[in-house]
Amino acid sequence: MLVLTRSQIAGLLKFDEYVTVVGAAFRAHAEGCSIPPALMHVSAPDGEFHIKAGGLLTPEPYFALKSNGGFFLNRERYGMPNIQGMVILASASDGLPLAVMDSMEITIQRTGAATAIAARYLARRDSSVVTICGCGNQGRIQLRAICHSLPIRKAFAFGLTLEGSRAFATAMSAELKIIVEATEDLPAALRQSDVCVTCTPARKALIFAADVPRGMFLSAVGADSPDKQELDQHLLPLAGVYGDLLEQCAQVGEFHHGIEHGLVTREDFRGELGALIAGTARGRTSADEITIYDSTGTAIQDVAAAVAVYRKAKAAGIGTELDLAT
């Protein structure tokens, strides 16, 4: 069994490679070539654990289980990341554990990859301005993802503090060679934007229908448990709503808040990302349609990314080999 640290994983794959393997995995799921994903949420006194599991029935089948702990006072209290976790990768032929790896890099990259893919189908092709809500690790990859798929020339950064937003703006402007402007006025930023990505642990809505212009594409990344919410539920019936997996969106995503309030039903869900890729679901229907991608995060993404990382690491001789059976 191979053990991989975050630093070992970080340089193995380019973002393009994550986009490729995540897209292929979602398509495989849409075509019935997956082990149905499952998720569990466990609350802890100062945080929460998200456990996701699933597999891909490719010629060489794989299974992955990821446990991520979300402890959002970690940085303030202990100077350590708020998200802590690991991925276990196993053969889905015989159950043999193949690897244990840090989950941070995989989670960041695979989540960004899904947004990059969704933007291709759901954003207007001429989208040039984006608002990013959340200026942490996920905010950075989300801005990279949107710039990967769309001709972005300007971004607004809205974070927990203006200081943090400014630091994000300075770093990302230098990296991506676009204008990135820190803002405290989220509604004003939204009204000037073609795209918005929310990637916060918010438990009450940040984005309201009155501030969302016609034609906007929203990727809602933060809601991955029933008590999290970034979009006002009244926005959902005004938009074409898509997501990674309908069952998860209906249980823990933004879509579930709309269902809970009687504003939408499962029949209003336009399609999963895999169906968009496979061509069995239709994407944006007009230039002025509001579209939403409900990104709850899936084991499909985790196993795809973990397999790609594992193969690259084995080929390069990176990581530490352990034999658990001895």
Residues 134 and 278 in one domain: yes
Residues 88 and 195 in one domain: no
Residues 71 and 162 in one domain: no
Is residue 146 assigned to a domain? yes
Residues 29 and 130 in one domain: no
Residues 290 and 311 in one domain: no
Q: Where are the alpha helices (DSSP H) in 186-298?
A: 186-191, 246-252, 254-260, 273-278
Residues 284 and 312 in one domain: no
Q: Which string of b and e fits 268-302 if b means at least 16 CB within 10 Å? A: ebbbbbbbbbbeebebbeeeebbbbbbbbbbbbbb
Residue 177 annotated as catalytic: no
Is residue 152 assigned to a domain? yes
Dump the DSSP string for 85-130: EEEEEEETTT--EEEEEESHHHHHHHHHHHHHHHHHHHS-TT--EE
What are the backbone dihedrals phi and psi of residue 91, each rounded to the nearest 5 degrees, phi first? -70, 135
Residue numbers of the domain that contains 196 = 112-297
Is residue 282 assigned to a domain? yes
Residues 286 and 310 in one domain: no
CATH number of the domain within which 269 lies: 3.40.50.720
Residues 117 and 248 in one domain: yes
| The pLDDT value given to residue 324 | 86
User: In this structure, what DSSP letter does residue 267 have?
Assistant: G
Residues 117 and 100 in one domain: no
Residues 86 and 151 in one domain: no
Residues 217 and 284 in one domain: yes
Q: Which residues of the chain have pLDDT under 50?
A: none
What tens digit of pLDDT does each residue of 72-97 get?
Answer: 889 889 999 888 999 999 999 999 99
What tens digit of pLDDT does each residue of 277-291 get?
Answer: 999 999 999 999 999
Is residue 190 assigned to a domain? yes
CA–CA gap between residue 17 and residue 107 (Å, rounded): 14
Q: How many domains does the chain have?
A: 2
Q: Indicate which residue of 66, 177, 228, 312 is catalytic.
A: 66
| The pLDDT value given to residue 292 | 99
| The pLDDT value given to residue 108 | 96
Is residue 326 assigned to a domain? no
CA-nearest of 26, 108, 36 to 273 is 26
Residues 317 and 186 in one domain: no
| The pLDDT value given to residue 261 | 98
CA-nearest of 254, 219, 18 to 115 is 219
| The pLDDT value given to residue 81 | 87
CATH number of the domain within which 16 lies: 3.30.1780.10
| The pLDDT value given to residue 117 | 99
